[in-house]
Amino acid sequence: MVKKKACVFISGSGTNLKSIIKSSRDYNFPINIELVISNKKSAKGLNYAKKYSIPYRILACDRRKFEQGVLQLIFLKKIEIICLAGFMKILSKNFVRKFRGKILNIHPSLLPKFKGLNTFNRVLETNEKFSGCTVHFVNAKLDSGKIILQKKVKISKKDTPNKLAKKILIQEHKIYPRAIMKIISL
Ligand code: GRF
C-alpha cells in the first residue's frame, strides 16, 4: 500500500498532531506524516515530531517568507496533503488556491456557526445547547470550506470555556483521523 505523503502545520500544543501521528502508524491509514511545520518556535507540539522521529521545521517569519519556505519543502518532500492542526496563521488566497482540495483544518465549533477565534466564550454567551468540532477543507475564506466531518458535544450548565474546550478537544482527536480516512481512499 502506498500512503499519501502529508505535512502537518501547527502553532501550539499539537495534540491533534499526536492523534494523527498515532493513527498514521496503522497500516491501513491512508497518509504518512513526512513533515511537521510550526510557525512558532515555542510550539509544544514540536515535541511530538521529535518523539515520533518526524522531520520538522520552524518557520517563524512573515507570511510571504513562511509560504515560500513551505512551498520549497513541500516540493522537495513531494507532499500531497496538508493538515492544519491548531495552526494559527491565515494562509494567503494564492497559497490556498495552489492546494485546492488538499488542505484540511479542524475547528472547535459546529461550522458554519462560530467561525474564527474565542469560540468557546461566544458559544457559552449565546446559550447554545450543543457545540462541537468540524474538519473541513480550507478555501480562501476563513473556516468556510466544504465540511468533511463534524461531532456534536452537549453543553452542560457547568461548562466554562476551558471545560468546553477540553470536552471538544477529546472529540477533535477522534474525528480528524476519521475525516482523513473519509477523503482519502487508497
Ligand atoms: C484545537 O481546539 C483546534 O480545533 C484549534 O486549536 C486547538 C489546537 O489544539 N484550531 P492542538 O494544538 O491540536 O492541541
pLDDT digits (tens, 9 = 90+) for 73-83: 999 999 999 99
Q: Is 186 a residue whose pLDDT tops 90?
A: no
- CA 141 to centroid of ligand 1, rounded, Å: 19
- Closest residue CA from atom 5 of ligand 1: 86
Q: Return the CATH class of domain 4-184.
A: alpha beta
Q: Which residues are annotated as catalytic?
A: 107
Q: Is 130 a residue whose pLDDT tops 90?
A: yes
Ligand 1, from 8, 9, 13, 16: best to mutate by most atoms within 8 Å of Cβ?
Answer: 16
How confident is the model at residue 1, as a pLDDT? 73
Q: What is the mean pLDDT of residues 15-31?
A: 97
Q: In the chain, where are the structural domains located?
A: 4-184
How confident is the model at residue 64, as a pLDDT? 97
How confident is the model at residue 117, as a pLDDT? 96
Ligand 1 atom nearest to CA at 11: 12
Largest Cα–Cα separation, the chain: 50
- CA 123 to centroid of ligand 1, rounded, Å: 16
Q: Is 97 a residue whose pLDDT tops 80?
A: yes
Per-chain mean pLDDT for the chain = 97
Q: Is 120 a residue whose pLDDT tops 90?
A: yes
Query: Partners of 120 in the beta sheet?
Result: none
How confident is the model at residue 185, as a pLDDT? 72
Q: What is the mean pLDDT of residues 82-87?
A: 98
Q: Write out the three cell numbers for 113.
A: 456557526
How confident is the model at residue 125, as a pLDDT? 97
Could you tell me the pLDDT band of residue 134, with boundaries at 50, 70 and 90? very high
DSSP the chain: --PEEEEEEESS--HHHHHHHHHHTSTT-SEEEEEEEES-TT-TTHHHHHHTT--EEE--S-HHHHHHHHHHHHHHHT--EEEESS--SPPPHHHHHHTTTTEEEEESS-TTSS-SS-HHHHHHHTT-SEEEEEEEE--SSTT-SPEEEEEEEEPPTT--HHHHHHHHHHHHHHHHHHHHHHH---
Q: What does pTM read for this prediction?
A: 0.96
